[in-house]
Amino acid sequence: MENQTIIHPSAVIESGARIGAGVRIGPFCHVSADATIGDDVELVGHVSVLGATTIGAGSKVFPMATLGAPPQNAKHQGGRTTLIIGANCTIREGVTMHTGTDTSRGETIVGENGNFLAYAHIAHDCIVGRNVTFANGATLGGHCEIGDNVNIGGLTAVHQFVRVGNNAFIGGCSAVVGDVIPFAIAVGNRAKLRGLNIVGLKRSGLPRSEIHLLRRCYRTLFDHTRAVSENIEIARTEFGESETAMKIVDFIDNRARRHYTVPPLKGGAGDDGDDED
């Protein structure tokens, strides 16, 4: 029968939980009374969905994942906070995602079509965009903001309050303690920029001319012979007609934050070294 919900006899579904059509809940799962499970979600087995957690339609959650546990934040007073997970996410073994903090944003938000590999962690009050990939053991501290189409490599840790811009790529085993601009590659402990994510830009269909313009904008913004504020003004003048370039400029310029922007490797702005086109 289409859209039939199947719940294994060993699963515990608390009274009040909202379960959509076509849901499959495997053995030894636990779904709390305040949880919402969207249509066609599959909890494979041994999955814990705690607190006020919403899982979007079509998502699949693998064993030992724990979604919606209280925040690991000493400022939390025990109030009701939420975790919202978008549609069509894949959440692999041992992944943990926490609710927000009642003295802060109060919610953790994960966008649709995310792919979270084993033991990835999303902490309290984070906002994660659409179409992201977190490799095994990728970890966010609290209050992070991760853009759309971001890839974070395995065993990489992102410091609390850090932003990672759209289409950025973070290499594995990195420690990210500052904001990473959109369309960039960052690698290392502590992470530094290695240039633009040219492969990602090509895959997105960005014209060759626009990629070359972005390279010039990147080098302008990180010209160490001038002040950052001067670089920003020059970039706005020279590249203001490019919507893509302005996303990078605005990201750097609109940052009333406590963390700095991750710079290029010492010795110059650098780039990815791919000049084939």
The DSSP-derived string for 184-197 is EEEEEBTEEEEEE-
Tens digit of each residue's pLDDT (9 = 90 or more) over 55-98: 999 999 999 999 999 999 999 999 999 999 999 999 999 999 99
User: Residue 81's domain is classified under what CATH number?
Assistant: 2.160.10.10
142 in active site: yes
> Is position 143 annotated as part of the catalytic site?
no
The amino acid that residue 108 corresponds to is T
Which residue in the list 51, 114, 142, 178 is annotated as catalytic? Answer: 142
> Could you give the number of structural domains in the chain?
1
Q: Is residue 136 part of a domain?
A: yes
Examine residue 225 and state whether it is found in any structural domain, yes or no. Answer: no
pTM of the model: 0.94
Q: Long-range contacts for 239-244 (Cβ within 8 Å, ≥24 apart)?
A: 239/213, 242/210, 242/213, 242/214, 242/217, 244/183, 244/206, 244/210, 244/213, 244/214
Cβ pair 226, 236 in contact under 8 A: no
Q: What is the arithmetic mean of pLDDT over 93-114?
A: 98
Of the candidates 124, 165, 200, 271, the residue annotated as catalytic is: 124
The pLDDT, as a whole number, for residue 257 is 53
pLDDT of res. 260: 86
| Mean pLDDT for the stretch of residues 263-272 | 68
Reported confidence tier of residue 266, pLDDT bands at 50, 70, 90: confident
State the chain's mean pLDDT as an integer: 94
107 occurs within a structural domain = yes
pLDDT value of residue 254 = 76
Considering the domain boundaries, does residue 52 fall inside one?
yes
- Given pLDDT bands bounded at 50, 70 and 90, which one contains residue 271? low
The one catalytic residue in 125, 153, 179, 195 is: 125
Residue 47 has pLDDT above 80, yes or no: yes
**257 domain-assigned:** no
Instruction: With respect to residue 217, please indicate whether it lies within any of the assigned structural domains.
Output: no
The pLDDT of residue 234: 98
Both tokens assigned to 248: 């990078």
Domain-located, residue 172: no
pLDDT score of 270 = 53
- 169 within a domain of the structure (yes/no): no
User: Which is it for strands 127-128 and 145-146: parallel, antiparallel or unpaired?
Assistant: parallel
Full residue range of the structural domain in which residue 39 is found = 6-143
Exposed/middle/buried for 9, CB within 10 Å: 0-12, 13-18, 19+? Answer: exposed
Q: What is the mean pLDDT of residues 37-43?
A: 98
Rg (CA), the chain: 21
pLDDT band for position 3 (cuts 50, 70, 90): confident
Q: What is the pLDDT of residues 180-231, one digit of tens each?
A: 999 999 999 999 999 999 999 999 899 999 999 999 999 999 999 999 999 9
pLDDT given for residue 258 in this prediction: 54
